[in-house]
Amino acid sequence: MLGDVTQTTDSAAARDEDRPAARTPSRGRSRLRIHRAWIVAVVTFVTIIGGAAFNSLPGLLIDPLHTEFGWSRGEIGLAVSIDMALYGLTAPFAAALMDRFGIRRVVVVALSTVAAGAFASVWMTASWQLMIYWGLLVGLGTGSMALAFSATVTNRWFVARRGLVTGILTAAGASGQLIFLPLCAWIVEEHGWRPASVTVALAALVVVPFVWLLMRDHPADVGLAPYGGAYVEKPAPARGAAARTVRVLVDAARTGPFWLLAGTFAICGASTNGLIRTHFVPSAHDHGMPITAAASLLAVIGVFDIIGTVFSGWLTDRFDARRLLAVYYALRGVSLLFLPMLMAPAVHPPMVFFIVFYGLDWVATVPPTLALCREQYGEDSAIVFGWVLASHQVGAALVAFLGGVARDVFGSYDMVWYTSGALCATAALMALVIRRKTEAPEPVVPTGAG
């Protein structure tokens, strides 16, 4: 990535020209440097890591909150489900707000909101406060830095290497998990859950100066063309962000591919954020595994998630995205069917194999899903992907809540693992029937599509 360089025009010479500097051939001295798009991508990567820190906490805090306050796992799961649902439902509106007010302003407000929710949770004494702080504030904040944020940055700053950049930015969430899961698990076990909540609040605030100083909303802001493309003028701020977001949803909902993409991504969210991220640690703890050991396994998923997602981005630039999705979901479903047999008090080789295997597949679905949104919906693809992401988080929210209820009712998570495996098989079949844009899919009535 860092090897990609571009010739840039001397700034003094550029100011002497009437036309934009990026479109004016330089007659003066030039120098080599990294294209600004890669700097923006790095800032985006770090921002997503900071915002993802809070997502490392819910699975670690279910048992401590249950012990301290006596709240049922269903109540705690409901708060987590509100967070996940708002994370998804906020994303399409955040993409439109970025078009209206700029990326920097939206992301700075989002990071501050996450920090406020995390700090406030330190003083909570009732489950409704958990719903407000974890569910509402953190959900709105992290939703504004969801994958629609990555899609907006990628669409504006890159023409070449979009699949690769999508994979790298998607891996940022896993990187945050890798960094914060072991740290927060240690803090929870040694010092309690409150210092862990303060830690992730500070992580969000630390990122704010980097965003404000280094992020730019559009390549034209610095007189550049997007990486691998031609110079384009910065569009005027798009007014009526909410109306545009809803209008894009209505238009997309008239097409069959939207419902197939939304359905597969809902199952993706159910089988990752809603299932593994929320319930893996308490499920392993049910079988006698220490919380720190279970959290470390979840962090290892993050290591291989980075590898798998970046590789998936590379594959998406070269192969049919529909077939990639079918393979990813089928493999994920098979692995979940075996998971109940692998739970044990200690870490053993078959469990390590599952962690590696699942990690490679964790969000490898994102680059091909985003590529299909871009293929189907063009300039509106970032907002459409935001709505598809909303379905991802609704699926995650349902399983986060229902998984806790199932544990309260059945005394184990086995039924949840088996059901999720079957859903992944369904998603594989759905991916295969998505029609390519060139086939001009006919509008369908969305009744009963959910």
For the chain, what is the HEC assignment?
A: CCCCEEEEECHHHHHCCCCCHHHCCCCCCEEEEECHHHHHHHHHHHHHHHHHHHHHCHHHHHHHHHHHHCCCHHHHHHHHHHHHHHHHHHHHHHHHHHHHHCHHHHHHHHHHHHHHHHHHHHHCCCHHHHHHHHHHHHHHHHHCCCHHHHHHHHHHHECCCHHHHHHHHHHHHHHHHHHHHHHHHHHHHHHCHHHHHHHHHHHHHHHHHHHHHHCCCCHHHHCCCCECCCCCCCCCCCCCHHHHHHHHHHHHCCEHHHHHHHHHHHHHHHHCHHHHHHHHHHHHHHCCCCHHHHHHHHHHHHHHHHHHHHHHHHHHCCCCHHHHHHHHHHHHHHHHHHHHHCCCCCCCHHHHHHHHHHHHHCCCCHHHHHHHHHHHHHHHHHHHHHHHHHHHHHHHHHHHHHHHHHHHHHCCCHHHHHHHHHHHHHHHHHHHCCCCHHHCCCECCCCCCC
pLDDT at 200: 82
**How confident is the model over 109-117, as a mean pLDDT?**
88
Task: Give residue 238's pLDDT band: very low, low, confident or very high (50, 70, 90).
Answer: low
Confidence at residue 146, expressed as pLDDT on a 0 to 100 scale: 67
Residue reference for tokens 């909540």 = 197
**151 neighbors 382 (Cβ within 8 angstroms):** yes
Give CA–CA dist 445/450, Å, rounded. Answer: 12
Question: How far, in Å, CA of 361 to CA of 332, rounded?
Answer: 7
Q: Which carries the bigger pLDDT value, residue 174 or residue 69? A: 69
Q: What value does the mean pLDDT of the chain take?
A: 79
pLDDT digits (tens, 9 = 90+) for 282-333: 888 888 888 788 888 877 887 787 788 888 888 888 888 899 999 999 999 9
Q: Of the ranges 64-73, 247-256, 359-368, which is most confident?
A: 247-256
Give the per-residue pLDDT at 264.
94
> Which among 55-64, 346-355, 399-408 has the top mean pLDDT?
346-355
What tens digit of pLDDT does each residue of 154-177 get?
888 888 887 778 777 877 776 776
Q: Quick one: average pLDDT of 225-239? A: 77
Q: pLDDT at residue 342 above 90?
A: no
* Alpha-carbon distances, residue 2 vs 37, 43, 156, 167, 210 (angstroms): 11, 14, 19, 16, 19
Asked if 413 and 279 count as a contact pair (C-beta separation under 8 A), the reply is yes
Residues β-bridged to residue 5? 34
Whether residue 382 has pLDDT greater than 80: no
Is the pLDDT reported for residue 369 higher than 80? Answer: yes
